[in-house]
Amino acid sequence: MTSRDATTPRSAPPPGAVPLIPAAAFVLVWSSGYIAGPAGVAVVEPFTLLTLRFALAALLLAPLAWWLRGPMRMTRDEVVRVGAVGLVLNAVQFGLMYVAFELGLGATLAALLHSLSPVLTVVLAGLLLGERLTRVQVAGFAAGVVGVLVVLGPDVDGAGGPVGLVLGVASLLALSLGTLGQRWIHVSADPIWSATVQCAVAALPLGIVALAVEGTGGVDDPVLGLAAIGYIAGINSVVGLLLLGVLVRRGGASAGASVFFLMPPVTAVLAWVAFGDTLGPRQVVGLALSVVGVAVATRAGRARRAAATPRLEEPTA
């Protein structure tokens, strides 16, 4: 076999391709957040935990952004837009979900709810922005919802009660609305500096709520609490962001969303390892139904976008 000449142009990866190793690492890191969250709120009050999480994440991201990107070059309007989206994606979404964790919402069900986000975002874009929806996408979202209901079954109390369940669904809605809000951010906004701003902006209102609701005694176990905060901030917020960046650069803008359907089964395995949680036959069937529905709907969306994307040759060095 002859080696390929270095001057021969290399073809870029096909638009629908998702790089395996970055995708697997991203799924594992992201899924672990659904384990660290419930473990964290067991020793730290939810709003105190989130305040410290996003404050620490901002402190970690700022020098990283400066080292990788140089000084922040966002305009005032971009900072406002990035910050507004960050309030929804970080403060509102996680605030709702972490209170649901405290009430008893399980890790696997939380991951299952959030796995619906890519398809719900498409549905909301169709309803609110008039974007075209395919029947496959609608059917996939419907299957995902049915799967969640099958997993939930009659045991609402086991999912944090009606309030915990409503908060989990509201967190899903906030995640999808925040994802739609990303389109409002100017395309020149650097993703690492954007994440830094969004974490810093989220920490302030969360801190106010923490002081008002939880006071200054929101940490029950300082050692375990510090470990949980360090993991969530350093691994989920920082390493997860960097992995997502690699995934997007190699697989396209929708690569991150295309692997969301893998979060619930991976989280279920992690929950079994960490907490001893097990799934009965009904939960397994519901989980499979939801995962397949979201996977099919997401794949249909990616295929349609890929078909509309011209195939480009990668430039040579």
Beta-carbon-side half-sphere exposure of residue 118 (alpha carbons within 13 Å)? 28
Q: What is the pLDDT of residue 12?
A: 46
Which residues neighbour 229 within 8 Å (Cβ) at sequence distance 6 or greater? 40, 44, 49, 52, 53, 56
- The pLDDT, as a whole number, for residue 19 is 76
CA dist., res. 91 & res. 58, Å (int): 13
Q: What amino acid is encoded at 75 in this protein? A: T
- Evaluate the CA torsion angle 228, 57, 93, 250 in order and state its sign: negative
Q: Distance between CA 22 and CA 96 in Å, rounded?
A: 29
Q: What is the pTM of this model?
A: 0.86
From first to last of its 317 residues, the chain has per-residue pLDDT tens of: 444 443 434 444 454 566 788 889 999 999 999 999 999 999 999 999 999 999 999 999 999 999 999 999 888 888 999 999 999 999 999 999 999 999 999 999 999 999 999 889 888 888 888 888 788 888 888 998 999 989 888 778 778 899 999 999 999 999 999 888 877 776 567 889 999 999 999 999 999 999 999 988 778 888 999 999 999 999 999 998 888 878 877 776 666 777 888 999 999 999 999 999 988 899 999 999 999 988 888 776 665 555 554 443 333 33
Query: How far apart (Å, rounded) are the C-alpha atoms in residues 90 and 206?
Result: 9
Classify burial at 8, counting beta carbons within 10 Å of its beta carbon; exposed 0-12, middle 13-18, buried 19 or more: exposed
pLDDT of residue 204: 94
Segment holding 158, helix H or strand E: none
Spatial CA neighbour of 170 closest among 227, 78, 103, 100 = 100
How many H helices and E strands in the chain? Answer: 14, 2
Amino acid identity, residue 235?
Answer: I
